[in-house]
Structure 1
Amino acid sequence: MQCPASTPRPETRHLPFWPTGQSTHLTLPQTHLFYNAEVAATRFPDKPFIVFYDSVLTFAQFRAQAERIAGFLQQDCGVQPGDRVLLDMQNSPQWVLAYYGILRADAVVVPVNPMNKTEELRHYVQDAGAKVAFVAQDLLPLMRPLVGGPDGLQRAIVATYSDHLTAQTDLQVPEFVAAPRVPLEGEGLVAWHEMLAAARTPAAMRAGPDDLAVMPYTSGTTGQPKGCMHTHRSVMTTAVQGVQWFGRTQDWVALSVLPFFHVTGMAGGMNGPLYAGGTIVLLPRWDRDAAAQCIQRYRVQTWQAITTMVIDMVSNPRIGDYDLSSLIGIRGGGAAMPEAVAARLKSLTGLDFVEGYGMSETLAATHLNPPQRPKPQCLGIPMYDVDSRLVDPATLGAVPPGETGEIIVHAPQVMQGYWRNPQATAEAFLEIDGKRFLRTGDLGRVDEDGYFFMTDRLKRMVNASGFKVWPAEVEALMHHHPAIQEACVIAARDPRRGETVKALVVLRRGLAQEPTPQEITQWCHEHMAAYKAPRIVEFVDSLPRSGSGKVMWRELQEQQDAKDRQAS
């Protein structure tokens, strides 16, 4: 898409607030991502890379196990360079090992949300054309129906989290983590420990910086999740930039509690520390007491968080029992941090919450607040080599200073496009001054210092605790319910989650017995990831429609917004 001749120029007002001593350009390694593991293992072989409920995996052990995984994928599973491999687990040593094992095999990681149900997983398998998946033992029942058959998975490698509980701990270990191995029944299933015991040696790495490496899925207005094609270069960008921006070293200790399938946790909580040679302390699910214990025990320096985690941490009546003095940085993204919560966090730790902005299409941040001068509820400033501008979403022309426009970005971390979806790719990009810009669909403004603030969004989306929920996808799933004639999903304000999912439902006529809203909600929880399931269901006689017959969701959203304002 070509932009009109009258175009905005890059913002430079933020440069006086640039991190001290930093260049605005970031020279990137021209290497395979797995090379980061090789370098760290060579430099710091006996240093802890992963700490998991007091059990330690060193860099040397990590590299050796990841190489065995790669060899097994190549020799026993027939994985070829460029093949897509699903990764479906909670944060764990196995998640990180599988990710880098897939990369070492020159294949492409397809990370999926472990809350996804079978039908959601089916789309990823079929759309990505994946023949192999890594899945956690507790999630196998949801993946099992997809193993076998001409259009399904040929192999599923099943991980048991407790295999990596090698040390005694006084931390509260969740039952699903402590669960012992269970026997695997059925063709196509391979136990993780058997894969490692095979001790396969992988072939030499062949992929370069411009080959595909990671393909997270994001949804949109069509309701069908789309794969974001990221190369070794674009993934490397977000791994390196966070290390540079915050000045992290090999003695960095990070609390990694944001999920790794999400690009923020992947880049900042896993890839960045590995590049730097730092240590990550993992929790598979948020637990405020375990997190505080780990911060105290391992002298954790940084914590990436979302709003709900911070609210939970600062409201813990036992928080005064823990020594959190080692923390030097707390940051996050996905949803703006309420000012009152940020104030409570600063009172507790003395630290500002540093916010950033990014998307699956950019594999995490394109904008980040300078650590020495953050602004609250702010996206931050464009990072290294990021050209970010505002355009009129209708004309794509320049937006006058001080006015709102759609945020667009040209940057090395921007994806190549959507997997096997040239139409969606064409709609997502525009060209200005010979540069390819990604349309974010978010509306923003730029203040007098060059900081970006989000004001609204063009995309129809619900932001629940930082998880992006796409109404069209939820509606498509809800239409499988035999009692639902149609549904319209909107956002409702939630004091804890920021926004929550609300569904306005028209029931079919002539039902022998009408379901209750609670029964619809329960059905949704059984058929879709928990964060997508509507928490509020309201029955209506009909949905408003435009002259062309489309549901007028924006009118319903505006009505809900007015209700929320009156209630607040």
Structure 2
Amino acid sequence: MSNLTSETYPWLKYYPQGVPYEINPDAYPSLIEMLEEGFTKFADQPAYSNMGKEITFAEVDKLSRDFAAYLQGLGLQKGDRIAIQMPNLLQYPVAMFGALRAGLTVVNTNPLYTPREMLHQFKDSGARAIVILANFGSHLEKVLPETGIEHVIVTQIGDLLGFPKKLVVNAVVKYVKKMVPAYNLPTAVAFNDALAKGASGTYTRPQVSGQDMAFIQYTGGTTGVSKGAMLTHRNLIANVEANNEWSKPVLKDQPGHIMVAALPLYHVYALTVNALSALKFGGLNLLITNPRDMNAFINDLKKYQVTMFTGVNTLYNGLLNHPRFGEIDFSKLKVTSAGGMALQKVVAERWRQATGCLPAEGYGLSETSPVLSSNPLLGENRVGTIGVPWPSTQMRILREDGTWADIGESGEICAQGPQVMPGYYNRSKETAAVMHEDESGRWFKTGDIGIQDADGFFKIVDRKKDMILVSGFNVYPNEIEDVMAQCPGVLEVACVGVPDEKTTEAVKVFVVKKDPELSLETIKSYCRENLTAYKCPKHIEFRDELPKTNVGKILRRALRDEEVAKMK
């Protein structure tokens, strides 16, 4: 950015005092240096807490270094891809940081994926190794022969909880709760065995630059094919540096902050705002393995006086409506960050009344590492907007004709900044489709329709894509339709998003039968086998025919309009 003035960039006047207009995305040569700095600076501070067990930054340093040595001992080279598939456990940061320190590229994988979804991601990324929770080993067994994965490391939920709790938790999970289906992965290595072997091995620090790829974050696409957003070390450093500066007026560079990490670390929001950003100020991440278990979640929250809370609207709403919410002490809460989905005004106000901290809604995407904008943590917080662009970030509104819109005029939100990905992995055509270039540079087209007001605050008003937003997760109709079209007895199918009080939107499908005997339960069962839970249709409606264009293309918008009309 250059020529920084309030006239050119009106949002700058809303930056809290001390927040710079620009950050240095080259503050570190790579994430490895940033990790090492944090591990050293905050060595004795607790870094992560999970299931009653805390580990310090020094312990994460040692464990991740051991894991890096083990990975290098396998012959994995700089740039090789490693998938990590598990919920929020102490093993996650150890595996992730270890992979980065070995110079590998992390492929974050949703642990709830079906074998079909796993297979696509592993083949598309070219992953050579995987760290996976034993609970999902049976899924991996089904697809492993079709992938290029050579090394499998399996962990159990309690592996880093210490003796004897580790043995108790693992036994209960496997034998009492029966959460680990039988699997056969004969060449798999236990996570703790990998750490032990790495501890006696040699770690060689790789030469990694800011332009090297750190993560492949998978996101959906209008074609129904999940694409991997390439995020470089520089992309992530830029977003962490911006987040650090944005938070300083409130956090004041004081260590000891306690962050709630209820969102999964495999999601780019928690990855950057929780796991990576904590390295800048020595924050403790309270890892919540299953936030849907509200009683256990609240029990964890009661153990700490949290200062920072990152979440989505449904998470805040769920807590507010729980009968035990009043048991939590929020007297030290300084920052509540909301993203991933629209923050409802009623939820924001109830949260402020209950905790004294008004959530600051932000905006970002996997392709942007992720944050582009946020409401200021001090000063002007306009609920219902996505705030103002972060340091070193520009946002503009693009008309359909490719020209820039005026203030107050709607169009596609476009962004420019050091956190924007270079492109999708091995997908040059799809990359070109989301980039707009003119004399002002290269802009990423977000697919969201928004407006900018005279003060520079942005607001989302619609989505250009058919993407459905379910509790902060993107669901793409083409993928749902492609899967359901393979269900025996289905002739035609159309998928749309419909408003939902709990999840912002819900998946609804319209089905034309080929087999008159096709039942709702058959469809639901087929979807459960082939789609992650949040992608499964909540509503299914049988139709004799679907609305189409004169060339036979199904009109999803007509179906959406029908649903909207029903609600009026």
TM-score w.r.t. the length of structure 1 is 0.92
State the identity as a percent: 30
* Alpha carbons of structure 1 residues 186 and 453: separation in structure 2 relative to 1, 3 Å: closer
> 2 CA distance for matches of 1:97 and 1:499?
35
1:252 is aligned to 257
The letter for the 1-side match of 2:127 is A
Distance apart, 1:188 and its partner CA: 2.7
1:264 is aligned to 269
Distance apart, 1:293 and its partner CA: 3.6
Distance apart, 1:432 and its partner CA: 2.5
Distance apart, 1:60 and its partner CA: 1.3
The letter for the 2-side match of 1:283 is I
> 2 CA distance for matches of 1:340 and 1:50?
32
Gaps in structure 2 of 5+ consecutive residues? 1-5
Deviates more, 1:160-169 or 1:297-306: 160-169
2:491 is aligned to 485
2:520 is aligned to 517
1:6 is aligned to none
Distance apart, 1:456 and its partner CA: 0.7
What is the SS of the residue equivalent to 2:412?
Answer: strand
Indicate conservation of the 8 Å contact 1:256/1:265, yes or no: yes
The letter for the 1-side match of 2:55 is L
1:46 is aligned to 44
1:5 is aligned to none
Instruction: Decide which of 270, 285, 310 is 1:280's aligned counterpart.
Output: 285
1:343-381: CA deviations, max 9, x gaps?
211111111111000001001110111112211121110
Deviates more, 1:186-195 or 1:533-542: 186-195
Indicate conservation of the 8 Å contact 1:296/1:326, yes or no: no
2:3 is aligned to none
Q: How many residues align?
A: 549
> 2 CA distance for matches of 1:434 and 1:375?
29
Indicate conservation of the 8 Å contact 1:89/1:95, yes or no: yes
1:351 is aligned to 357
1:119 is aligned to 116
1:101 is aligned to 98
> 1 CA distance for matches of 2:111 and 2:491?
29
Alignment map for 1:258-407 (pairs within 5 Å): 258-286=263-291, 287-372=293-378, 373-392=380-399, 394-407=400-413
1:386-444: CA deviations, max 9, x gaps?
1110110x211121222111110011000010111110011110112241100111110
Indicate conservation of the 8 Å contact 2:46/2:55, yes or no: yes
1:446-488: CA deviations, max 9, x gaps?
1232100001111111111111111111111112211212211
1:558 is aligned to 561
Alignment map for 1:409-448 (pairs within 5 Å): 409-448=415-454
* Alpha carbons of structure 1 residues 555 and 185: separation in structure 2 relative to 1, 3 Å: closer
* Alpha carbons of structure 1 residues 10 and 463: separation in structure 2 relative to 1, 3 Å: farther
The letter for the 2-side match of 1:122 is L
Indicate conservation of the 8 Å contact 2:302/2:327, yes or no: no
Gaps in structure 1 of 5+ consecutive residues? 1-8
> 2 CA distance for matches of 1:542 and 1:182?
41
What is the SS of the residue equivalent to 2:527?
Answer: helix
> 2 CA distance for matches of 1:559 and 1:212?
44
Deviates more, 1:23-32 or 1:230-239: 23-32
1:3 is aligned to none
* Alpha carbons of structure 1 residues 435 and 71: separation in structure 2 relative to 1, 3 Å: same
Indicate conservation of the 8 Å contact 2:262/2:289, yes or no: yes
1:4 is aligned to none
* Alpha carbons of structure 1 residues 201 and 183: separation in structure 2 relative to 1, 3 Å: farther
1:239 is aligned to 240
Distance apart, 1:148 and its partner CA: 3.6
Deviates more, 1:178-187 or 1:468-477: 178-187
Distance apart, 1:253 and its partner CA: 1.3
> 1 CA distance for matches of 2:276 and 2:136?
24
1:79-137: CA deviations, max 9, x gaps?
11111111111011111111111111111001011111000000011111112111111
Distance apart, 1:212 and its partner CA: 0.5
> 2 CA distance for matches of 1:383 and 1:31?
22
Aligned-residue CA RMSD (Å): 2.2
Instruction: Determine whether 1:203 maps to 2:204.
Output: yes
1:529 is aligned to 532
Indicate conservation of the 8 Å contact 2:312/2:471, yes or no: yes
1:499 is aligned to 505
The letter for the 2-side match of 1:388 is M
What is the SS of the residue equivalent to 1:440?
Answer: strand
* Alpha carbons of structure 1 residues 141 and 184: separation in structure 2 relative to 1, 3 Å: closer
What is the SS of the residue equivalent to 1:303?
Answer: strand
> 2 CA distance for matches of 1:518 and 1:447?
48
Distance apart, 1:542 and its partner CA: 1.5
2:188 is aligned to 189
1:326-347: CA deviations, max 9, x gaps?
2111111111111111121111
Indicate conservation of the 8 Å contact 2:141/2:184, yes or no: no
Indicate conservation of the 8 Å contact 1:241/1:384, yes or no: yes
The letter for the 2-side match of 1:258 is L
* Alpha carbons of structure 1 residues 182 and 217: separation in structure 2 relative to 1, 3 Å: closer
Distance apart, 1:383 and its partner CA: 0.5
Distance apart, 1:277 and its partner CA: 2.0
Alignment map for 1:56-205 (pairs within 5 Å): 56-76=54-74, 78-148=75-145, 151-166=147-162, 176=173, 185-198=184-197, 199=199, 200-205=201-206
Indicate conservation of the 8 Å contact 1:342/1:353, yes or no: yes
> 2 CA distance for matches of 1:191 and 1:438?
41
> 2 CA distance for matches of 1:441 and 1:164?
41
Distance apart, 1:10 and its partner CA: 9.1
Indicate conservation of the 8 Å contact 1:132/1:153, yes or no: yes
* Alpha carbons of structure 1 residues 16 and 139: separation in structure 2 relative to 1, 3 Å: same
1:145-184: CA deviations, max 9, x gaps?
23245x4422211111211223899xxx896499899997
The letter for the 2-side match of 1:193 is N
Indicate conservation of the 8 Å contact 1:358/1:365, yes or no: yes
